[in-house]
Structure 1
Amino acid sequence: MTTTASAIKFAYWVPNVSGGLVVSNIEQRTDWSYDYNVRLAQAAERSGFEYALTQIRFTAGYGAENQHESVSFSHALLAKTEKLKVIAAILPGPWKPVLAAKQLATIDYLTQGRIAINVVSGWFRGEFDAIGEPWPEHDQRYVRSEEFIRTLKGIWTTDNYSFDGKYYQFQNYTLKPKPLQKPYIEVFQGGSSRAARDMAARVSDWYFTNGNSVEEIKKQVDDVRSKAKLANRQVKIGVNAFIIARDTEEEAKAVLNDIIAQANVEAVNAFGDATREAGAAAPEREGNWAKSTFDDLVQYNDGFKTNLIGTPQQIAERIVALKNVGVDLVLSGFLHFIEEVEYFGEKVLPLVRQLEQQQEHHLAAKSA
């Protein structure tokens, strides 16, 4: 039997932002309301999802007219579930480490250790300008995020904590109570630039990358893992994927074609312009979406590229292929969230576990 430790894990994007997970006018039986999200969280928990990831947005744009705040929304979902761990997205800048550390420690205490954090370094300058927050240049945003993570971990594990950084300073600060999770609350982080991968290798527990082919994902996994090894650390890898599981491959591909055919062209192009500006700010002149086409950008974390689109068997095989290049978690988006999460749990996940088990037996037989 596949062990819990070795089994690939599944998370879903929490639709706490309106507009769903595709920038398209296609019907989405998904809602950003609290009631819908509670039903979704409970369905995901029953269906075998271990994590949920809330989104952080401060301003409208790209089809997202309304946004619930991520940390309070995460706590509200945790109050209505029993096993699910919710990853709250936080932006250094609007949040200060001391507030985040205390806020998250309290939620961890209240939810028996089920909160996690996704540190978002920021790519959308317009949002920072709108709320009057400074916008450091690309690599400096990762310097700030690294200090943010280091100080969180320090506050969560040390009494009389002191830190003298460029962005944050602490002097003999003691937080009590500290989180229930030991040694500290799990820290996730995204990005595809060199600075993002380097930071993940040094300080993050999990590295999220945009969707891509197995070959391209392997390159990122190998880079992050080799850098982490030099720092005597281990980093787990999560990959974004938009999942379209249907009884036939033709049905699944038809859904994908309909999503793209009904794309909100103005919103997709505006998103593309913002991502190109963000990518051009990186020293290597290449960001998360550098090689994304218009069709890719309809799903704003390149989820179509991961190609988890087809029958349950096809998707299960592709998930195991991702696991085989080092992926530990699939971060999933869906068109009609509740019903498709339940379909995934019923039709796809058992096949994944079966394939994992077959693979383990095969490896055990070879080594015997």
Structure 2
Amino acid sequence: MARHPFRFGVVVRKAESGRAWAERARLVEDLGFSTLLVPDHVLGPRFAPIAAMTAAAAATTTLRVGTLVFANDYRHPVVLGKELATVDVLSDGRLDVGLGTGWMRADYDGAGLPFDPPKERFERFAEAIEVLRGVWSDGPFSFEGKHYRITDLVQEPKPLQKPFPKLMLPGGGPKMLRLAGRYADYVNLTLRVKADGTAPDETDGGLDAFLRKVELIREGAGDRFGQIEIGTSVQQVGVPAEKETWSAVNISRQDSTPQVLLGDTAQMVDKLRYWRDEHGLSYYVLHNDKDLDTFAPVVKELAGS
């Protein structure tokens, strides 16, 4: 079992001003988090990811910036590829590219976008990864797929990171997990999403399903499995007054997984050490930055160890 050093990210959605956003980014950096991540949804009180990442990178010196995760259906990969290469250059190579198919039906309906069946969205997403890698590579790039057609395209700037910026994929269903094994630098284990795009699928919860996801990554990765940093989003930390819900799903079934970290700092640290040493999970993303004060001691104890 590969044993990577602990790495921590945090999802930050918005701030009251540009100054407040910069201060938040510097606080995340000072607390020892490796990465500030922004979501990608049309609806809701969230900053747009590319502008938010760029501003966070400009305000910091070592903090990586990324997304959890870009919805592929919202942007053509050639356009996204150029935007991200630019962010990678402007951040001195501190970009992490989180990318998924897109799943939230309300986003699609609100924006008037077609919500295609899961199989078609996944096929388009898999092609988009190939297109991104192609436009980030040297020389003219051509691609002939079902969803994208590119002809002799030379795009600049190229990313600073070689051969490509780090890629984070969400890991819910078997196809995505095996694809993540082939391409991802980081995998964020999550619940499979319902086909209708209304919420994560509660039937995918529990310890056995969570552990099975690691094995599906291994199946897709083959010899490169040891290079992949696997982790998950931490949905609940400390000693909450009552059980909360996330994305319309009661997370109580995840109590035995590292998505739920209850107790004091020592108990949270012990649980994460167990999951890293026994199951190889080393990259944890705090789902809500309102929990920074509670989780910061855990980061201080474990980051880089």
The TM-score, its normalising length taken from structure 1, stands at 0.70
Which shows bigger deviation, 118-127 or 156-165?
A: 118-127
Select 1:237's aligned residue among 225, 230, 233. Answer: 230
When you count strand as a share of all residues, which structure comes out higher? 2
**1:339 offset after TM fit, Å?**
3.3
Q: Is the 8 A contact 1:51 1:84 kept in 2?
A: yes
**Match for residue 211 of structure 2?**
218
Select 1:158's aligned residue among 138, 145, 149. Answer: 138
Quickly say closer, same or farther: Cα 1:229–1:33, change in 2 above 3 A: farther
**Match for residue 228 of structure 1?**
221
Quickly say closer, same or farther: Cα 1:143–1:302, change in 2 above 3 A: farther
AA matched with 1:206? Y
1: distance between equivalents of 2:131 and 2:241? 43
The count of corresponding residues between Structure 1 and Structure 2 is 288
2: distance between equivalents of 1:244 and 1:296? 13
**Match for residue 263 of structure 2?**
310
Quickly say closer, same or farther: Cα 1:234–1:130, change in 2 above 3 A: same
Task: Tell me if 1:72 matches 2:51.
Answer: yes
In structure 1, the gaps of 5 or more residues are 17-30, 61-65, 246-251, 273-291, 357-368
* SS of 1:183 mapped into structure 2: coil
**1:143 offset after TM fit, Å?**
1.1
1: distance between equivalents of 2:303 and 2:49? 31
**Match for residue 197 of structure 2?**
none
Radius of gyration: which is bigger?
1
The 5-angstrom pairing of residues 154-303 of structure 1 reads 154-210=134-190, 216-229=209-222, 234-245=227-238, 252=239, 255-257=240-242, 260=244, 272=248, 292-293=249-250, 296=252
AA matched with 1:8? F
In structure 2, the gaps of 5 or more residues are 192-204
Task: Give the % identical residues.
Answer: 22
* SS of 2:285 mapped into structure 1: strand
AA matched with 1:313? A
Quickly say closer, same or farther: Cα 1:232–1:327, change in 2 above 3 A: closer
RMSD, aligned α-carbons = 2.9
**1:233 offset after TM fit, Å?**
8.6
* SS of 1:103 mapped into structure 2: helix
Q: Is the 8 A contact 1:240 1:303 kept in 2?
A: no
2: distance between equivalents of 1:304 and 1:38? 33
**1:57 offset after TM fit, Å?**
1.1
Select 1:12's aligned residue among 10, 13, 31. Answer: 10
2: distance between equivalents of 1:314 and 1:145? 39
AA matched with 1:11? G
AA matched with 1:240? S
Q: Is the 8 A contact 1:150 1:203 kept in 2?
A: no
Select 1:84's aligned residue among 38, 50, 63. Answer: 63
The TM-score, its normalising length taken from structure 2, stands at 0.83
AA matched with 2:9? A
Quickly say closer, same or farther: Cα 1:349–1:32, change in 2 above 3 A: same
**Match for residue 142 of structure 1?**
122
The 5-angstrom pairing of residues 349-364 of structure 1 reads 349-352=299-302
* SS of 1:157 mapped into structure 2: coil
